[in-house]
Each structure stands twice: as structure tokens, then as C-alpha cells.
Structure 1
Amino acid sequence: MKTFYSHGKLLISAEYVVLDGAKALAVPTVFGQHLTVDIIDQPKLIWTSLHKDKTVWFEDEFSLKQIASSITSDNDIYDRLLQILKAAKQLNPKFLKDNTGFKVTTQLEFPKNWGLGTSSTLINNIAQWANVDPYKLLELTFGGSGYDIACAKNSTAINYQLVNGNPNVELVDFNPKFSEHLYFVHLNKKQNSRDGIAHYKANKPDLNKTIIEINILTKQLANCDTLELFQNLIDEHETLIAKITNQKPVKETLFNDLNGSIKSLGAWGGDFVLVASKTNPIDYFKSKGFDTILKYDEMVLSKV
């Protein structure tokens, strides 16, 4: 039996513009995804995907011949998984080559609708199993900047930047002294990051000045010593991204009476937001129907 594991992710800065070379601050989460592989004596894959509570959310079988063919189905999950396996085989022709079959089980440590990287953790786990470059596997399948793969592979905060299209990852010591005042609140809906990226690419203006400003903010956020400064920085970041995406910040649309600052993480409109507040905001969010609230140290994996 072989086992693989990848961490979930949260993008603290440079959402959208990380695609165009801005430097991002991102953190791996304490929640991730496991992948277990057992050898069987039949030439097929028996695949089972489990929720956090071990209930099944997907299961099916693939013959090894299917993985080398162009057959598709009317099941999006089946087709997407088949696409990943085919891409892994394209990158490593020896992967799934002989008549040995496998029973594969994946298990999430977080609810699928949290947006912490159901796809990126799967990509990184399959890349480990197939012995291929996870960034290339991502490029051939889901696309995106790749920061989520960097989080999947690392156990501490990172600065992530595409340099001439290639990922550059720098480990950073991001452990805010004021972390007891930071919270992650789920907006009760899953945001499709591919849709958000498509909207951004179709409408983005000239970004040279914005990328310079975001790079400065990323550095300042990573080295921030006080809650007040951190709040000012994320407010400034929200304003910049709002201008280039022609969207309103989440605080303005949903929480304009909150005594604190709020920042979207990743594609705007869903998943988690980061809340910085001197006073505990849990009762405030619960009164508005947002019950999934995690403290910073409950969410972020901050130790190597």
C-alpha cells in the first residue's frame, strides 16, 4: 500500500493578479486530502472518494484501456478524473502501463464546499503517485497559477510568483503576533475559481502599476507586526482588486456594519474570507447566518 498527502490552501494576497506575475502570499491549511493506493490483480482502477466523515461522494471503475482512450461519459467527475489520469500518463508513459490494477481511495479532511483545494490536493497526490511534475499536471488539466500546488507541497507560508511562466516558491515565516484577532468565515457557497479566472482574463486592464503595488502589499503583509497595520493593508488590497475586476469588496456588499476589516481569499464571491477584528466577531457573523467560523490557528498550518 502506498499513501500520499497534500495540504489545502488559502491565498492571502494577489488573487487574480498572481496569474500575471504578481507575488502572492499563501498559506497551507491544517486540512488536506489523503490518497491511498492498493495493488489488485485485475487490470483496472477501482476509485472511491470519501468525504471527511468517510461517506462516499464518488466511486467508479476504469479499465486501464480507458485511460489510454478518448472515451468520455455523461459524468463530469468521472471525465475530470479520467483527464487527470491521462495527463499523468502523458507525462510519465510508464504510469499505469502494465496489467497491474489498483484500488484507490481518497479522503478529504474538509467539506468539499469549503474551497480549500479538493482539486489541487488531488492533482498533487496523483502527481506524487505517478512521479510527475505537479505543476505540469495542473497545466494539462485545471490550469491556474499553481500557488495551490505549492501550498499542497509545503508545510509553511509561501511567497509564490510566476517568473517567465515558471513557479518560484519562497518559504516565509508568516506567524502574525495578532493571530488571535484573525478569523476565517465561510460565505455559505462554493466559488468556481475557473469561472472567476475566466471573468478576470476577459476584463482585466493594464496591470503593470497594480502588480507593483500588490507586490509591495504582499511583502508588507508578510512582515506586518500590528493588527491595525494589517487591517489597513488588507483594506488597501481589497480596493486595488475591486478596481481591476470591477467588483465590490465583500465587506461593502455583505458586512458594511462590521467593526473590522475583511478580505476575500482567492476568487471573489464565495468560499472563505479573512476577518481582522480587535473584538471577537463570531456572534456578529452567526447573527447574519454565517456559522462556519474558524480562528486563524485552527485553519493555518504555520509550523514546518
Structure 2
Amino acid sequence: MKKEFYSNGKLLITGEYLVLDGAKAFALPTKFGQNLIVEEKSKPEIHWKSYDSDGSIWFEDTFTFENITINDNTEKKSSIRNTLICILHEAFKLNQEFIDGSIGYSISTTLTFPRNWGLGTSSTLINNIAQWLEIDAFILLKNSFGGSGYDIACAQNNYPILYHLVNEKPIIEKINFNPTFSDNLYFVYLDEKQNSKESILSYYNNKNRELTESIIKNNSITQKVLHSTTLSEFALALEEHEAELSLILEIQTIKESRFPDFEGVIKSLGAWGGDFVLAISKENPKEYFIKKGFKTIIPYKDMIL
């Protein structure tokens, strides 16, 4: 029997880092994502093959069921293998039936975006595995990879969301966001992949003040973003968001550090310093970013569901 699953990628527009402490985050699912195909085989093992968006295989390996049940990462030193075994081990703890049976599996995953883009290679995988095994993807994320879970919410929903945690439980609100100025919004890939786990750890290590007021301010700014009716209102709100988080993280905004001459607003998305940024500009900024060495510039309508 063949089963197929799909999950959306994600972009976090507001609430980065602070969402971990209960702030409301505005996030958008993308037109890009990842699928997972599961086929049964007679041998009690899992043969895994992962394809990048260009059709190339970026990971392939075989795990015995024992590797998964005891979380055995000793056979090989591949960090990808170790991470995958960890996720499957936590999935096994939530649903042991898929390994207690006598069948094995041939599993393939395929990204519809280049793996280095940072649109949710891990979150889409975790959500797909959770769909396959009929387990809670938020619990699987928490037990394996960590994070706020907004990316899992994007993986599961085909519309803009407002996301926050209450007593570590995810609250997901469907919102209407269809800006008339979407033609002035562009996503630019910085070609510097950020490690989500390391970024979260750095945030916790560097928090140097009480965040209650910052969370209140974040939520207020997020509402400004969602209710902006003009490009200038939207840009000013996100510029304010950047300035506030810059104070908390004690680092320069991405515009200050890399694009000080840009005529518009640039907003970091997710972990600061890498992956995509949102460029807000009255004119098409493609030529500007290409001259700076950045060739991947995607209009809003081509990125967002």
C-alpha cells in the first residue's frame, strides 16, 4: 500500500524569538513545501531517500527497527541520519504500532524548494511523519527538534495565521491577510542558512531583561501589521518591529548591517541573519539586490499561498 502526505513551508513575519515566550506571531504558509511517500516492504527496516527540488538525492540510508526503538545513532556519524533517527524514535514512542508489525517501509521525501532556503525542511518532515503515524505533530516537534511550533501550524494550514502559546499549548487563529500592496513585497534569499536550534539557544542565552513589555509591544505591532491598509503603514509597523527586536537581541537590524542604502524597509524573517528577508519597496528592488550579489528575489504572489 502506498500513502502520500504533504506539508506547507513557512515564513514568520512578526514575533520571531518572542513567540517562544508567548508573544503572538504572524506567519504565512508558502506555496513551497515537502511531500512524503510511504510504501510497505517485507523486510522489517526503513529504507529512506530524500530528494531536493532539483531531483537530486541529498540523503539516503537504511535503518533497522532496532536503530529506531533504542535511538541508536552509533552506526554512522551523519548528523542527518542521527536527527532522523531521533525524530522516528520520538514518533515510535507516540505510536509503537508502525514498528511492532512485521512489515518494513520504503520512504521517500521530495522538497519543492531548494533545501538551503530555510522554508521548513524539518517542520514539513515532522508534520508529514505525524500525518503518516496519526500522532500530534506539535508533541513530536517538542520531543525531537524543539521550537515554538508556528512552523507546524503553517505546515497544516493553507491560510495566514496568528499563532501563540498558552501554557505551552499552541493557539492558532485563521486571519484574513490579502494586502492590496502585495506587488510591493518581495522575499530575498540571503544564502546564509540559519540553524533554528542554535538561534533559539542563543536567544535564551542572551535574554537580558524582562520581556513582558516587549511581548505587549510585539502584539500591538503585529495588530498594526495585520490592519495596515497602505504600504507605508505596513512598512512603518515592520520597521518598528525590527527596531524593538534589535534592542532585545542586541544586534543590528539586517538593513543597518547589510543594506543601509536600500530605499525601503527590510524585515528579517525567522532566525536573524540568514535565510529570507522581506523587502518592502515602492519600486521593484530586483536590480538593487542582484548588484549586491543576491539573485533569488521572489514576489509575494509567487511565494505565499
The two structures have a TM-score, normalised by structure 1, of 0.98
Structure 2 counterparts to residues 74-89 of structure 1, below 5 A: 74-89=77-92
Structure 2 match to 1:187 = 190
CA distance in 1, matches of 2:159, 2:278: 18
Q: Partner of 1:26 in structure 2?
A: 27
Q: Does 1:268 pair with 2:288? A: no
How far apart in 2 are the matches of 1:70 and 1:234?
A: 43
Cα pair 1:37 1:103 within 8 Å, conserved: yes
4+ residue runs of structure 1 moved beyond 4 angstroms?
none
Determine the C-alpha separation between the residues in 1 that align with 2:150 and 2:184: 25
Are 2:168 and 1:165 aligned?
Answer: yes
Query: How far has the Cα of 1:47 moved from its partner?
Result: 0.4
> Out of 211, 218, 243, which is 2:215 matched to?
211
Q: In structure 1, how many angstroms separate the alpha carbons of the residues matched to 2:200 and 2:68?
A: 29
Please provide the CA RMSD for this pair: 0.8
How many residues are treated as equivalent by the alignment? 301
| Per-residue CA distance 1:34-86 (angstroms, 9 max, x = gap) | 00001111111110000011110000001122211242131111111011111
- The 8 Å contact of residues 49 and 106 in structure 1, kept in 2 or not, is answered as yes
Deviations 1:100-122 (CA, angstroms, capped at 9, x unpaired): 01100000001111000000000
Give the equivalent residue in structure 1 for 2:199: 196
Residue type at the aligned position of 2:62: E
Work out the CA distance in 1 between the residues paired with 2:108 and 2:55. Answer: 10
Distance in 1 between residues matched to 2:249 and 2:257, nearest whole Å:
15
Show CA shifts across 1:224-278 (max 9, x none): 1100001100110000000000010000011111110000000100000001100
Q: Which residue is 1:56 aligned to? A: 57
CA drift at 1:92:
1.2
* Inter-partner Cα distance in structure 2 for 1:144 and 1:263: 21
> Which residue is 2:68 aligned to?
67
8 Å contact from structure 1 (residues 8, 32) kept in 2 = yes
Matched, 1:295 2:296: no
Distance in 2 separating the partners of 1:251 and 1:70: 43
Write the letter of the residue equivalent to 2:140: L
Q: Does 1:282 find its partner at 2:286? A: yes
> Contact conserved, 1:88 with 1:95, CA < 8 A, in 2?
no
Q: 1:119 pairs with 110, 117, 122, which one?
A: 122
Equivalent position SS for 2:148: coil
Q: Which runs of 5+ in 2 are unaligned?
A: none
Amino acid across the alignment from 2:11: L
Q: Which of 219-228 and 283-292 deviates more?
A: 219-228
> Equivalent residue for 1:156?
159
Task: Tell me whether 71-80 or 182-191 shows the greater mean CA deviation.
Answer: 71-80
Q: Which amino acid aligns with 2:296?
A: T
Whole-angstrom CA distance in 1 between matches of 2:139 and 2:6: 18
Q: Secondary structure at the match of 1:173?
A: coil
